[in-house]
Structure 1
Amino acid sequence: MKWRQRRGVALLIVLWGCTLLAIMLGGFAALARTEGLQARYQFAQVRAHYAAEAGLARAVAGLQSPDIDARWIADGRIYPFDFDDAKVAISIVDEDGKVDLNAASNDVLVGLFKAAGANDDAARHVAAAIQDWRRPGDAASPNGAKKAQYEAAGLGYGPRNAPFATVEEARMVLGMTPALWAKVEPVLTIWSGRERPNTEHAQPLALAAIPGLGDNGAQAILAQRNQSRGSLASGGNGVTHTIRVEAILDDGTRSSLTSTIRLRGIRSGNQPYAVLRWREGDAE
């Protein structure tokens, strides 16, 4: 009887052992499958990323083509590009067609914020606050903001009292709301040094910021641009550009990057461009 009991216990132990082994093997199989999927995803992401970087290199080559008729135009139009099995879309915007945070006049800044949807009062206050941010001294201009106004608003910082160091710094300016920032950020720069955008390359919102141009003038400029899609604008390209590249693989894997570069020309032993700003993905 005891022999049968011991035999039953041994059989039970064997069954539990087999069950435990089956669970462990199932876990290992699931883990291996998960790691395989992760590896495939990461590999696809790397391929898409390098396809996007190839698009950036193609854009630089297009901007500096020895054949002026084949040279790419930096006015925001889309250039398609095939790289391996990726579809790459490239757009280039000349920085001189944007509103310079450090150089734009009050009229241009007010025009920009009004065109972006701010009312007259809000547009004047944000424009003045931007000028106070970049201007040395502690005295606020009319409608503007210096440290006292930031403290009164409950903010633990004040203006730089010096030129903007980055475009993103403008998010901190008193009165700059997230909604307003989202609209104006694509047409802001710190690299043009111009009081107003160059109409040859400016996007619609930047054109709308130019005093006296009006909707009719902006539409006429855009229409003329569309008629000359195959050739360089009369003013040519500048040297500082923001290039946005999006690469999509056949399986839908996507990678994007946005880079502001300054061209250095094509000379032996010289890096053809310097990177001023780099952002991967769509997040701010």
Structure 2
Amino acid sequence: MRRPVRQRGVALLLVLWACTLLAILLGGYAVLARTQALQTRYQFAQTRAHYAAEAGVMRAIYAVEDPLPLRRWVGDGRVYPFRFDGAAVSVAVTDEGGKVDLNTATPEVLQRLFHAAGLDIAAANELAARVVAWRSFPRPGIELADDRAAYAAAGRDYGPRHGPFASLQELQLVLGMTPQLYRKIEPVITIWSGQAFPDPNTAPPLALAAIPGLDPQQLQALKAARERNSREAAPAIGGGITHSIRAEAVLADGTRAVIRATVRFQAGGMTAQPYRVLRWQEGDEE
């Protein structure tokens, strides 16, 4: 006995709906599988780039203390490129002694740094005074109240620490410090040198401009001497025990990783730890 035409049409529709649903499910699974494959590939590339950058940091730690002077890296900010596991790695080492120390720099050095970074003389003097007030121990009487009143008037719910800066980022809390100014001076400031003035032999250009008593002719002579040193095989400059290292690794597909570390070398015997990591940061953002 033949089925009615209507029943055959309903069955056909059910088959079509089932095929459509199956196609949607298969398509969804395909998209999911592709997404997971892309994520896995991205994570693998990021891991490769990260370890290549880490290799750059490790190589810099050894090269700064290389027993052979001809192979020793110099902490004046120059870039040392090499390849590692298919990645192009570039490493820059800066002696912390060439930077401006927030805790020990003289007010004049701070003022000259802020002025060289773009502030006018009056604003640079005011900001330098606030940095000194932040790091200085509490003062008696009305001066301490005035310090807190200035912050309160600016809408801040805190006042100066009246103690040494514990990190570079803490400088952003000082009244008058802007994000733009901080980004500009962050590469040339430190809390680890303990010096009143940057070392002119390793100071980056902005820190070099903060050194009092250097006229334009002396600055040009210093820059020329350092340029000559940069072309020599074993320049005899720099010798600090604390260095900042920036290592960047870029893969062929453009995947990029950056590691920034501050390392202090320590004297001792064979069993002593040769260095101590003071700061470790992945990426360029503060």
Q: TM-score range by the shorter chain?
A: over 0.9
CA distance in 2, matches of 1:277, 1:27: 45
Counterpart position of 2:225: 224
Seen in structure 2, the aligned counterparts of structure 1 residues 34 and 208 have a Cα distance that, compared at 3 Å, is: same
In the TM superposition, residue 190 of structure 1 has moved relative to its aligned partner by 0.4
Counterpart position of 1:165: 166
- Partners of 2:76 and 2:238 within 8 A in 1: no
Answer yes or no: is 1:203 the counterpart of 2:209: no
> Structure 2: where are the runs of 5+ without partners?
none
CA distance in 1, matches of 2:91, 2:268: 21
- What secondary structure does 1:227 align onto? helix
Percent of aligned positions with the same letter in both sequences? 52
Counterpart position of 1:22: 23
- Partners of 1:138 and 1:147 within 8 A in 2: no
1:1-284 matches, cutoff 5 A? 3-138=4-139, 146-229=147-230, 230-265=232-267, 267-284=269-286
CA distance in 1, matches of 2:43, 2:142: 52
- What secondary structure does 1:42 align onto? helix
| 1:68-115 deviation per Cα after TM superposition (whole angstroms, max 9, x unaligned) | 222110000010111010110000000000000000001101111111
CA distance in 2, matches of 1:104, 1:279: 25
CA distance in 1, matches of 2:190, 2:83: 30
CA distance in 2, matches of 1:76, 1:266: 27
In the TM superposition, residue 271 of structure 1 has moved relative to its aligned partner by 3.4
- RMSD in angstroms over aligned alpha carbons? 2.0
In the TM superposition, residue 125 of structure 1 has moved relative to its aligned partner by 0.7
CA distance in 1, matches of 2:211, 2:88: 36
- Partners of 1:86 and 1:248 within 8 A in 2: yes
TM-score normalised by L of structure 1? 0.94
CA distance in 1, matches of 2:248, 2:282: 10
Aligned length: 283
In the TM superposition, residue 272 of structure 1 has moved relative to its aligned partner by 2.8
TM-score normalised by L of structure 2? 0.93
CA distance in 1, matches of 2:217, 2:36: 58
CA distance in 1, matches of 2:272, 2:4: 88
- Partners of 1:200 and 1:233 within 8 A in 2: no
- What secondary structure does 2:8 align onto? helix
- What secondary structure does 1:268 align onto? coil
CA distance in 2, matches of 1:281, 1:151: 34
